[in-house]
């Protein structure tokens, strides 16, 4: 589990094809304190298992399924990526709950400055529009962001200068693909409602309590 608060950038040091998957060697731009073999690290928002891990490097395997759903297959040696280590109990939850299981990729449709901010507009991936709400949370390349505007075709977010500096989002150009993970809560609620597990007349406090939301 992650929060979408990117620790910094990393660089792809090597890529090796293994069947239909790949092995990535990643060099973080910061020290990995207390590295633990097999720990989870989010790479552009994709939860990967780190092995051969040291304070300055780790290796991770990327399956064919992950390559098909994310932008990791577009990486080259020297590409920069966003990195976040897994959440520990007691850590600050500065963003929102992020699983690291990317739903789809989206194309960057536009970017423009607005004062000190930069507004990014993305195409809505097929089937995910119902999970995007204004002022709700969305993860873009592993970054926890607030949706400013959304409709059936596009959604926008406003990026502060700090985020542009410490993440790869500042390097994205129109047409680039980014990894999208929508908010988990919406998907769980939708599944329970589809199963008909709700009282007649809609959702009420008893329904929310029975299903663990309160």
Give the CATH number of the domain where residue 170 resides: 2.40.30.20
Tokens encoding 56: 């300055």
Give residue 117's domain range. Answer: 104-188
Please indicate, yes or no, whether residues 14 and 60 belong to a single structural domain of this protein.
yes
pTM recorded for the entire structure: 0.88
Euclidean distance between CA atoms 117 and 108, whole angstroms: 17
In a domain, 129, yes or no: yes
**169 Cβ neighbours under 8 A, 6+ residues apart:** 82, 120, 140, 141, 143, 159, 163, 178
> Does 70 share its domain with 135?
no
Kindly report the three-state secondary structure assignment for every residue of 6-55: CCEEEEEEEEEEECCEEEEEEEECCCCCCCCCCCEEEECCEEEEEECCCC
- Is there a single domain that holds both residue 14 and residue 57? yes
Spatial contact of 140 and 6, defined as CB atoms under 8 Å apart: no
Consecutive 10-residue averages of pLDDT for the chain (214 residues): 94 96 97 95 98 97 96 97 90 85 97 95 94 95 97 95 95 97 86 65 70 70
CB 35 within 8 A of CB 56: no
Same domain, 183 and 112: yes
Q: In the prediction, which pLDDT does 195 show?
A: 67
Domain boundary among 58, 85, 112: 85
Is 197 inside a domain boundary?
Answer: no
Spatial CA neighbour of 178 closest among 148, 138, 147 = 138
């Amino acid at each position: 589990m992650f929060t979408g608060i990117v620790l910094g950038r990393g660089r792809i040091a090597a890529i090796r094809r293994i069947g239909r998957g790949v092995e990535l060697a990643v060099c973080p731009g910061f020290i990995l304190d207390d590295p633990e073999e097999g720990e989870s690290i989010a790479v552009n928002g994709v939860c990967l298992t780190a092995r051969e891990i040291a304070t300055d490097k780790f290796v991770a395997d990327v399956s064919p399924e992950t390559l098909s759903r994310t932008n990791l297959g577009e990486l080259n040696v020297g590409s920069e990526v966003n990195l976040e280590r897994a959440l520990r109990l007691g850590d600050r939850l500065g963003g929102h709950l992020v699983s690291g299981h990317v739903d789809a990729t989206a194309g960057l449709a536009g970017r423009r400055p607005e004062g000190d901010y930069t507004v990014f507009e993305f195409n809505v991936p097929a089937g995910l529009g119902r999970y995007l709400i204004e002022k709700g949370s969305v993860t873009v390349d592993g970054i926890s962001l607030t949706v400013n505007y959304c409709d059936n075709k596009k959604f926008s977010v406003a990026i502060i200068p700090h985020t542009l500096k410490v993440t790869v989002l500042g390097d994205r150009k129109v047409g680039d693909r980014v990894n999208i993970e929508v908010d988990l809560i919406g998907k769980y609620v939708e599944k329970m409602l589809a199963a008909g597990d709700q009282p007649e007349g809609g959702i009420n406090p008893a329904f929310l309590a029975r299903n663990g939301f309160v």
